[in-house]
Amino acid sequence: MTTAQETLVGNDVNLAAQLLGAGKLVAIPTETVYGLAANMFCEDAVNQIFSVKQRPATNPLIAHIHSVESLTGIVTDIPQKAAMLMQAFWPGPLTLLLPKNQQVPNVVTAGMPNVAVRMPNHPLTLALLKKVGFPLVAPSANPYTYISPTNALHVKKMLNGKIPYVLDGGPCTKGIESTIVGFKDGVPAMYRMGAINMEDIENVIGKITLAITEKAIAPGMHIKHYSPITPLVVSNNLEQDILKYRNHNIGVITYNSYTPLLPHEQQLLLSEDNDFKTAGANLYAAMHTMDGKGYDLIIARKFPQAGIGLALNDRLNRAKAT
């Protein structure tokens, strides 16, 4: 009986490029979360992603590129407003749904006509993309529906022995996934709330709607996602819910202040003030930490429904979904 080889962690871009060129998977850092990367044009490697993550083939992947010029090899058209958003936010946490060309394997897009693509804002991964010379598809480097990883140790803990290498680029600075914008007949719509909020998008291209669809036509649209194993409650009234579940062993995720109803040791403070960008960067790490403490229940304080708070509440609501 053979045992799986331990996953290595390091910052060797050359080794990561060699592995990817050989059709292997490598976890890569981005400003949002760590991704599980494969050569987009190697269908065997792409299929490994679905197998390792136990991700359904109906859930499309995001292609990562290092330059706007790289788009010519994978898309057939760039709407004017898409070009404006690239100019404003790339490299950065913005994914665009664009019509794919015939080179993009159907497995990448779940058989749909658009490919999700972005340019990540992380120096190691941009250097890696330049070195390999092909786009990388890279969903979050975690088992399907579990909490996304925001540092290399999260990946190692979840995928050890299943992939050969984690490219360690330190903790993710944004901490939640990219915003996804698509275009139907040139009209923009937001398919996933993320690290760039709707107001920032609208400041560049004008009014944008929130896409409502039952089918997951973009990554991250499944109802259950980003979930700890420990049951999670999203709370509008933290003290009331702590009292409601007082017979349980509770861990609390909150921001700007601790609740006096529990010892500080049972609470994680995402930010000391109302800096929700800091809170967002710390959210998944807090969920990983709380999930490892053996609590009966995690209670997360809901964010104000404005700006990035909308995206953070979206993640919390998906984390509690059953």
| Average pLDDT across the chain, whole number | 94
* CA–CA separation, 83 and 79 (whole Å): 6
Helix (H) or strand (E) run with residue 313 in it: helix 308-320
Domains delineated in the chain: 8-210 (3.90.870.10), 232-320 (3.40.50.11030)
pTM: predicted TM-score of the whole model, two decimal places? 0.93
d(CA 66, CA 188) in angstroms, rounded, equals: 23
Span 261-284, pLDDT tens digits: 999 999 999 999 989 999 999 999
- Taking Cα atoms as reference points, which of 18, 42, 56, 27 lies closest to residue 138? 27
User: Is residue 105 predicted with pLDDT exceeding 50?
Assistant: yes
> Average pLDDT for residues 81-102, to the nearest whole number?
97
Integer Cα distance of 117 and 182 in angstroms: 10
